[in-house]
Amino acid sequence: MISYDVIVIGGGPAGLAAAISAESEGAKVLLIEREAKLGGILKQCIHDGFGLIRFKEKLSGPEYAQRFIDEFHKRGIDYCVLTYVIGIEKLGHKIQDETEQRIEHKLEHDTEYKSGHQYEVRVVNKKGVAAYITKTIVLATGCRERTSKQINIHGTRPSGVFSAGTAQAYINILGQKPTKKCVILGSGDIGLIMARRITLEGGKVCGVYEAKDSPSGLTRNIMQCLDDYDIPLHLSHTVTRLYGHDRLEAVEIMKVDERMDPIPGTEEIVECDALILSVGLIPENELAESLHTDIDPRTKGPVCDQEFMTNQPGVFICGNALHVNDLVDYVSESGELAGRAAAHYRYQDKEYVSIGIDKEFLYYLPQRIHIGDGKGETIFYFRSSRVLKNADITLALNGKEILKKKYRFLKPPEMESFKLDISQFNLRRDDRLTATLKGENP
Ligand SMILES: Cc1cc2nc3c(=O)[nH]c(=O)nc-3n(C[C@H](O)[C@H](O)[C@H](O)COP(=O)(O)OP(=O)(O)OC[C@H]3O[C@@H](n4cnc5c(N)ncnc54)[C@H](O)[C@@H]3O)c2cc1C
């Protein structure tokens, strides 16, 4: 079995950045990707708007990915594509079951094996099943879209109901038009981008319907994808029923109240051959869960510390597998930091201080800070749970303010971040870190 210092799972922007940064810190790295090509979801995002923060340029998804793929290949990092990670096992758990001979051999060569702080990553590809040994793992498995089954729409079950990402893959990868006339449910960024894409391909978008009273996508996407193409956005509306036998023929739309319950008497039938769903993304974390990482119910991704390490020693997380990012620049940033930390990781018992947050936050990352070693700036990421004007974020240590930042506007679809050198406060185990958010109604 081949051994690595770092195994990165997922070849999207997060995984590529993690692999490059771990390799540049001197680690022996393997990247594993289940698809045929590297680049992750960016392969199908042919619109522009990527890389504005990092490269100060407006790149398409494939252009952005290619910069990292070129750098990755230049460094000669080991990788395998069309290879699916089917399981990860902590070797400490296996040691009891192994033959004396193998244990002796491993102990002779590697003392970390004994302490159980190595992992066996099992993969399947066209050659069969294989396994690799590694000291650390960076999970960069991305996220997946919520499906129609997860939002319970009544009616028949005809074809023509697509997630926005699937519709995007049909058009941009397969060159096929999935609809002539459609309704889009949900105002997430992918739905907005697909409203414009379908229109450009000659299809009709009857409207984008959003159950909440404010859009879920970025303001720039509302303007560039809907307003510029006269596509109506209907807030506080949802699809309540599907009609059609083999293919979708129409959907029923209803207004919803503030609790998002449909209001009787507001039914409207809209004829269409497709319903495109853009109703949320969820971090893909089957592997993380199989390793018993703690999952944050707010992000739906693993709980992590300032070095993107989960509660499992040597298991790091980044990109959309950690939390759903609005901009790819932040995805690459988290990959780089997780890769670097993985390359320098040595097992040691660590103590942590958790960060308490109030209900004005949708979420806050990292959820905990490990104390002791580690100098330098920590990047904090957060989203507000509602739109706030003239907002202040305050970070306090044992009730004493250590940071205050002002924002003119905070909106749940737009993630914010700031940096702070938390090591300067010499945290101790009993310390209390709290983040609060205060702002006005817009
Ligand atoms: C439609 C759409 C439009 C977007 N538009 C913009 C935009 O305009 N501007 C912007 O900045 N950002 C945009 N984003 C956001 C940005 O593209 C994503 O946040 C980013 O690509 C996520 O990167 P990632 O590496 O975390 O995940 P992904 O790109 O999803 O990569 C994860 C990879 O992991 C692999 N994988 C998963 N499980 C396994 C396994 N078990 N074994 C092996 N491999 C596995 C997957 O095959 C995949 O290749 C958009 C995203 C989408 C979906």
pLDDT tens digits, 322-354:
999 989 999 999 999 999 999 999 888 889 999
Whole-angstrom distance, CA of residue 79 vs CA of residue 98:
28
Where are the CATH 2.60.40 domain residues in the chain? 350-442
Q: Which atom of ligand 1 is nearest to the CA of 32?
A: 43
Whole-angstrom distance, CA of residue 88 vs CA of residue 115:
17
Whole-angstrom distance, CA of residue 318 vs CA of residue 314:
13
Q: Is 138 in the pocket of ligand 1 (CB under 6 A)?
A: no
Q: Is 15 in the pocket of ligand 1 (CB under 6 A)?
A: yes
Q: How many CB atoms lie within 10 A of CB 439?
A: 20
Which of 196, 328, 381, 414 is the best mutation target for the ligand 1 pocket, counting ligand atoms within 8 Å of the beta carbon and taking the most?
A: 328
Residue 101's pLDDT is 53
CB 290 within 8 A of CB 88: yes
Nearest one of 265, 270, 325 to 301, comparing CA atoms: 325
Mean pLDDT of the chain: 92
Q: Which CATH code fits 1-146+280-348?
A: 3.50.50.60
pTM, rounded to two decimals: 0.91
Q: Is the dihedral of CA 246, 249, 252, 253 positive or negative?
A: positive
- The residue length of the chain stands at 442
What percent of the chain lies above the pLDDT cut of 70? 94
Which residue minimizes the CA distance to atom 33 of ligand 1? 10
Flag whether pLDDT at 99 surpasses 90: no
CB 433 within 8 A of CB 358: no
Q: Two tokens at 333?
A: 């940033």
Residue 205's pLDDT is 98
pLDDT tens digits, 346-364:
888 889 999 999 999 999 9
Residue 114's pLDDT is 47
Which of 9, 21, 31, 41 is the best mutation target for the ligand 1 pocket, counting ligand atoms within 8 Å of the beta carbon and taking the most?
A: 41
Where are the CATH 3.50.50.60 domain residues in the chain? 1-146+280-348, 148-279
Which of these ranges, 135-139, 271-275, 411-415, has the smallest mean pLDDT? 411-415
Read off the pLDDT band of 96 (50, 70, 90).
Answer: very low
pLDDT tens digits, 35-94:
999 999 999 999 998 999 999 999 999 999 999 999 999 999 999 999 999 999 988 644
Q: Which CATH code fits 148-279?
A: 3.50.50.60
Read off the pLDDT band of 374 (50, 70, 90).
Answer: low
What percent of the chain lies above the pLDDT cut of 90? 81
Q: Two tokens at 286?
A: 């089957």
CB 183 within 8 A of CB 207: yes
Whole-angstrom distance, CA of residue 438 vs CA of residue 258:
23
Flag whether pLDDT at 227 surpasses 80: yes
Q: How many CB atoms lie within 10 A of CB 181?
A: 14
Mean pLDDT over 178-196 rounds to 95
Flag whether pLDDT at 192 surpasses 90: yes
List beta partners, residue 333.
none
Residue 93's pLDDT is 47
Q: Enumerate residues 6+ apart whose C-beta is below 8 A from 421.
A: 375, 376, 377, 378
Q: Two tokens at 83?
A: 């290879």
Q: How many CB atoms lie within 10 A of CB 298?
A: 16
Residue 435's pLDDT is 96
Q: Is 51 in the pocket of ligand 1 (CB under 6 A)?
A: no
Residue 95's pLDDT is 47
pLDDT tens digits, 274-299:
999 999 899 999 999 999 999 999 99
Q: How many CB atoms lie within 10 A of CB 268?
A: 12
Whole-angstrom distance, CA of residue 286 vs CA of residue 116:
22
Q: Is 236 in the pocket of ligand 1 (CB under 6 A)?
A: no
Which of 45, 216, 223, 278 is the best mutation target for the ligand 1 pocket, counting ligand atoms within 8 Å of the beta carbon and taking the most?
A: 45
Nearest one of 12, 168, 170, 137 to 81, comparing CA atoms: 12
Half-sphere exposure of 108 (CA within 13 A, CB side): 6
Mean pLDDT over 15-26 rounds to 98
Residue 384's pLDDT is 96
Whole-angstrom distance, CA of residue 231 vs CA of residue 289:
40
Flag whether pLDDT at 27 surpasses 80: yes
CB 343 within 8 A of CB 137: no
Residue 88's pLDDT is 96
Flag whether pLDDT at 98 surpasses 80: no
Flag whether pLDDT at 409 surpasses 80: yes
Residue 116's pLDDT is 53
Q: Is 285 in the pocket of ligand 1 (CB under 6 A)?
A: no
Architecture of 350-442 per CATH?
Sandwich (2.60)
- Residue 267's region, left for phi above 0, alpha for psi from -120 to 50, else beta, is beta
Q: Two tokens at 351?
A: 């103590």
pLDDT tens digits, 105-140:
554 555 454 455 799 999 999 999 999 999 999 999
